[in-house]
Amino acid sequence: MRRVIPALTVLILAMAALGLVLSCASRGGPPASRPAPEPSGESVGTPPPPPAPGSTPQPSFASVTVVAPSAAPAVYAHHFGVRPTVDTRARPAVMLSPDVDTASFHVAQAELRAGRLPPEAAVRLEEFVAATHTAGPTSSPRTDFELTADWRATPLRPGYQLLRLLIRAPTRAAHREVQVARTADELREAWAAGQDVVFLAAGAVSTDLAKRPAASGGRTSVVGLIGARGDDRGAYDDEALEAMARNLGGEYHARTDLGAAEYAARRLADAGGAAARGVTLRVEFDPAVVRRYRLLGWEGRGLREGHAPPPGALAAGSEVVLLFEVRAEDGAPRLGDLTVGWQPPTGGRRIDRLAIRPAPAQEGGWGTALVAAAVAEKLRGSYWSRHVTWARLRALVADHAAGRSELAAMIDAAAAVDRRPDRFARDLPVAKMGFDALPVVR
């Protein structure tokens, strides 16, 4: 009996201590003997303790980070990542849905003019190239796609050529009246009538508009007005506007003042209907000629073989620019093939197959594309641009795109505010950077 009583006493004291701890935990605070942690200013509340044995876990939002309004981003965007270098033997083809959007370039311009870097997620390289591309003279009427290719050694990646594919849409389009909608009600009226429409959006749209599925017949392009509310902190929803145009088969552009936005919307409307709908581009390289390649940009437009064609469409005479860094045999006359799948205004499905036979590139269009792509790579913090300084990009403008003052101004503004560290330095210093070593998909 003398042995049982002490053991019982110890058990009772242990249970009492456990009850005290659980009681304190249920009130959301630590035991009195332990000081509460100092608030960090980044979250509200304290992470809850683990549930007691046998109890049902309850949902808690105490540890969710809350961003202060003053720190809210000026632009909301979705990041699709950065394309890798590909071994052609393992993956000879890449497939995508093309567009001629330019909004990302103008969003970045507006952010840099405000003295801050644009969100990396809002930098879409292909839109920088499209915004600075000057279309060539209109050729004779065409009812099919046309391809021009040129290439030249790139000064930014030793051992690689920068291959530019210029893809021209047919010049004949369906004759459809296109409305300009300035309010959500006008937009819904155009949809109800099955009309093609250009929506002039004041920086943001409601969820029901942004996520509306593609309608049969109607095509919606978007022109976003940056800073339309007079409050540039969180007022421009790039992600929603870009998704809206993509879902509804239209183009997406942006401007920083109402007059320019109205003009862009009117030009889109005057262009009439689409010349090609459901367009897919498939570039297949010959592994015997091209050892490795990397498509620059288009991360959010990739397609998989066998998938249904997207709702996207191209206006008559549109020019789509694709840029590839390729390691290929010198003097190769043919690198591969471009296959274009599309639906003409008369209906049905067509396939155009075009050989990729690059000519030596001249300055002008090729040089502008080189610089525009390099600026976008640097702004979005790409691994492939980490060895390139803003000063070198400024020199590239003088060497390859002397007349493009907008690119020079963008580089100067970015250089003044870019204080980002090299996020890859810990794992791979620039001195040991190998373009064929990391990251390569095999």
Of 138 and 405, the structure prediction assigns the larger pLDDT to 405
Closest by Cα among 297, 290, 326 to 160:
326
Query: Is pLDDT of 437 > 80?
Result: no
Closest by Cα among 365, 119, 85, 160 to 242:
119
Q: Residues 302-325: what's their mean pLDDT?
A: 85
Structure token pair of residue 382: 């790409």
Query: Is pLDDT of 31 > 50?
Result: no
Measured distance CA(334)–CA(376) in Å, rounded: 29
Q: Residues 359-376: what's their mean pLDDT?
A: 92
pLDDT given at position 60: 36
Structure token pair of residue 416: 């003044």
Structure token pair of residue 189: 């009226």
Q: Residues 5-25: what's their mean pLDDT?
A: 45
pLDDT given at position 34: 34
pLDDT given at position 214: 61
Res. 224 pLDDT band, cuts 50 70 90: confident
Query: Is pLDDT of 79 > 70?
Result: no
Measured distance CA(337)–CA(438) in Å, rounded: 27
Highest mean pLDDT among 139-143, 165-169, 312-316: 165-169
* Span 162-182, pLDDT tens digits: 999 999 999 876 667 788 888
Q: Residues 378-396: what's their mean pLDDT?
A: 92
Query: Is pLDDT of 205 > 70?
Result: yes
Read off the pTM: 0.76
pLDDT given at position 313: 83
Overall CATH class of domain 85-172+274-417 = mainly beta
Of 357 and 53, the structure prediction assigns the larger pLDDT to 357
98, 200, 243, 416, 438 from 211: Cα distances, Å: 20, 17, 8, 38, 37
Query: CA 317 from chain center: how many Å?
Result: 24
Q: Residues 9-15: what's their mean pLDDT?
A: 47
Residue given tokens 């490795």 in the structure block: 292
∠ CA 365-369-373, nearest 5°, is 175
Of 374 and 230, the structure prediction assigns the larger pLDDT to 374
Measured distance CA(123)–CA(142) in Å, rounded: 33
Structure token pair of residue 377: 């790579």
Of 420 and 214, the structure prediction assigns the larger pLDDT to 420
Q: Residues 54-68: what's their mean pLDDT?
A: 38
Res. 328 pLDDT band, cuts 50 70 90: very high
pLDDT given at position 65: 34
Of 247 and 122, the structure prediction assigns the larger pLDDT to 122
For residue 332, how many C-alpha atoms fall within 13 Å in the half-sphere facing its CB?
A: 23
The amino acid at residue 151 is: W
Measured distance CA(396)–CA(129) in Å, rounded: 15
> Mean pLDDT lowest for which of 5-14, 141-150, 181-190, 369-378?
5-14
pLDDT given at position 424: 81
The amino acid at residue 54 is: G
Closest by Cα among 118, 162, 108 to 369:
162
Res. 152 pLDDT band, cuts 50 70 90: very high
Q: Residues 28-32: what's their mean pLDDT?
A: 38
Structure token pair of residue 303: 């397609």
pLDDT given at position 5: 42
H, E, C per residue of the chain: CCCHHHHHHHHHHHHHHHHHHHHHHHCCCCCCCCCCCCCCCCECCCCCCCCCCCCCCCCCCCCCECCCHHHCCCEECCCCCCCCEEECCCCCEEEECCCCCCHHHHHHHHHHHCCCCCCHHHCCHHHHHHHHCCCCCCCCCCCCCEEEEEEEECCCCCCCEEEEEEEECCCCCCCCCEEEECCHHHHHHHHHCCCEEEEEECCCCCHHHHCCCCCCCCCEEEEEECCCCCCCCCCEEHHHHHHHHHHCEEEEEEECCHHHHHHHHHHHHHCCCEEEEEEEEEEEECCCCEEEEEECCCHHHECCCCCCCCCCEEECCCEEEEEEEEEECCCCCCCEEEEEEEECCCCCCEEEEEEECCEECCCCHHHHHHHHHHHHHHHCCCHHHCCCCHHHHHHHHHHHCCCCHHHHHHHHHHHHHCCCCCCCCCCCCHHHCCCCCCCEEC
Q: Residues 190-203: what's their mean pLDDT?
A: 83
Phi, psi (deg, nearest 5) at residue 192 = -60, -30
Res. 251 pLDDT band, cuts 50 70 90: confident
Query: What rounded mean pLDDT belongs to the chain?
Result: 78
Highest mean pLDDT among 4-8, 309-313, 391-395: 391-395
Res. 364 pLDDT band, cuts 50 70 90: confident
> Mean pLDDT lowest for which of 52-61, 93-102, 301-310?
52-61
Measured distance CA(344)–CA(278) in Å, rounded: 9
pLDDT given at position 305: 79
Query: Is pLDDT of 22 > 50?
Result: no
Measured distance CA(149)–CA(358) in Å, rounded: 4
Structure token pair of residue 102: 């330019």
∠ CA 378-81-421, nearest 5°, is 40
Query: Is pLDDT of 403 > 60?
Result: yes
Q: Residues 290-316: what's their mean pLDDT?
A: 85
The total of other beta-carbon atoms located within 10 Å of residue 130's CB is 26
Bridge partners of 440, per DSSP, are 85
Query: Is pLDDT of 55 > 90?
Result: no
Query: Is pLDDT of 319 > 90?
Result: yes
178-270 folds as Rossmann fold (3.40.50)
Q: Is the peptide bond before 439 cis (omega within 30 degrees of 0)?
A: yes
Query: Is pLDDT of 250 > 60?
Result: yes
pLDDT given at position 383: 86
pLDDT given at position 233: 40
pLDDT given at position 77: 53
